[in-house]
Structure 1
């Protein structure tokens, strides 16, 4: 892209779309504390772009959908979440430990609140990864079911075939939106997790 972009006076339409994608995630990560972590914006923008492309490629016929598998989503969710946690503990251990306990709680409730907050932080990479994998898998399953019914309708009824073809086209357009939204949610939640990072 850098090589071909340097040959034109004005950006190509694909470059403009890419700039819009970059600006969306960059502006989102600048709203959180992640802007204070060096390089975090660049990681989120690259991850956002990559997940969008992988999700959209999974919609093509006879293409393996990587983002519908938990191992693939955990490969990104777990290390990035763990990096934020380790960085927060290394940066300011006291502030990070204090964030496990909300202010103004009664003393007898403190151990339970710390335990609940610890569990909620520990399950973040699982919920992050499950959300992306489950939503992408569900969409592919529905597309497969509609396609199999349409293939059976070829020998049964042309009106049913046309109706199923119309439903399939509408659902593919819906699934394109889901691909974009799920990539955005994945990176949005990572940027929101950066809010727990202590700042000095």
Structure 2
């Protein structure tokens, strides 16, 4: 039983176990097996989205290695489907947890930093001092750029989780006032909830795209 408003985002709400994390793989239950075998409208739409993302990320990534956009497209798909799963009633929203978002952002950032320092350290250190900086300000710019580089995985994780929590909390707060409203106000509440649901669907797409694009931009800096 939920004891407070934030219990919706508690992975141990049900039977004091972490079974709610299974929502991250429940997305495959909604994909029929024939989707992978016979071309369908859903398949064609998804291929069109993947090709569009491939062209977008190929411009952002300066490397010419084939297949370098595959990991970013997979990351976008994974976050997007998990965001959509959180829109269903009584399904745990995994992307609203820092545990989940940091597990995506931190390994990516670490791999970029290690790769850049091992292969192109001079280029990485040159990023710490923007071009045209006065000599007297260079020590301060190095400190500022270093801090901004270190907090990147945290900002990625917080941005995704905070946006997913905010919309769900607003819908929960409005929904809890339903039993105390009149018929007219109830109709207005339902309309506002539908509009909020549409907004949350848009936020789910935007946040998965923003997370992936920022990760792509961070990777392009180490080349």
Does residue 125 of structure 1 match 2:150? no
Which residue of 2 is the match for residue 81 of structure 1?
109
The number of residue pairs the alignment matches comes to 193
Distance, in Å, in 2 between the alignment partners of 1:20 and 1:121 is 34
Answer yes or no: is the 8 Å Cα contact 1:48–1:184 preserved in 2.
yes
Q: CA deviation at 1:36?
A: 3.7
Deviation at 1:133, TM superposition (A): 0.4
Larger helix proportion of the pair: 1
Contact kept in structure 2, 1:73 and 1:129, CA below 8 Å? yes
Aligned position for 1:4: 34
How much does 1:81 deviate?
A: 1.0
**For 2:32 and 2:167, how far apart are their aligned partners in 1?**
34
Match of residue 179 from structure 1: 204
- 2:55 and 2:117 map into 1 onto residues whose CA distance is 26
Query: Contact (CA 8 Å) 1:5, 1:12: kept in 2 or not?
Result: yes
1:90 is aligned to 2:90 = no
Deviation at 1:58, TM superposition (A): 0.2
Per the TM alignment, residue 89 of structure 1 is displaced from its structure 2 partner at its CA by 0.9
Partner of 2:180: 152
CA RMSD of aligned residues (A): 1.9
By how many angstroms is 1:161 displaced? 1.2
Q: 1:58 is matched with which residue?
A: 86
Q: 1:40 to 1:151 in 2, by over 3 A?
A: farther
- Residues 59 and 7 (structure 1), Cα distance of their counterparts in 2 relative to 1, 3 Å cut: closer
Q: Distance in 2 between matches of 1:170 and 1:186?
A: 24
Cα–Cα, structure 1 residues 76 and 6, in superposed 2: closer, same or farther, change >3 Å?
closer
1:47 to 70, 75, 82: 75
In the alignment, the residues of structure 1 paired with residue 68 and residue 176 of structure 2 have an alpha-carbon distance, to the nearest angstrom, of: 43
Unaligned runs of 5+ in 2: 1-30
Unaligned runs of 5+ in 1: none
Q: 1:38 to 1:7 in 2, by over 3 A?
A: closer
Secondary structure of 1:64's aligned partner: coil
Deviation, 1:105, is 2.0
One of 191, 196, 202 as aligned partner of 1:166: 191
- TM-score under structure 1 normalisation? 0.89
Tell me, in whole angstroms, the C-alpha distance in 1 between the residues paired with 2:49 and 2:127.
Answer: 33
- Change in Cα spacing, 1:111 to 1:128, as seen in structure 2 (3 Å) is same
* Greater RCO, 1 or 2 (C-alpha within 8 Å, sep 6+): 1
SS class of match (1:94):
helix
For residues 21 and 84 of structure 1, the distance between their equivalents in structure 2, rounded to whole angstroms, comes to 26
Runs ≥4 in structure 1, deviation > 3 angstroms?
Answer: 5-8, 34-40
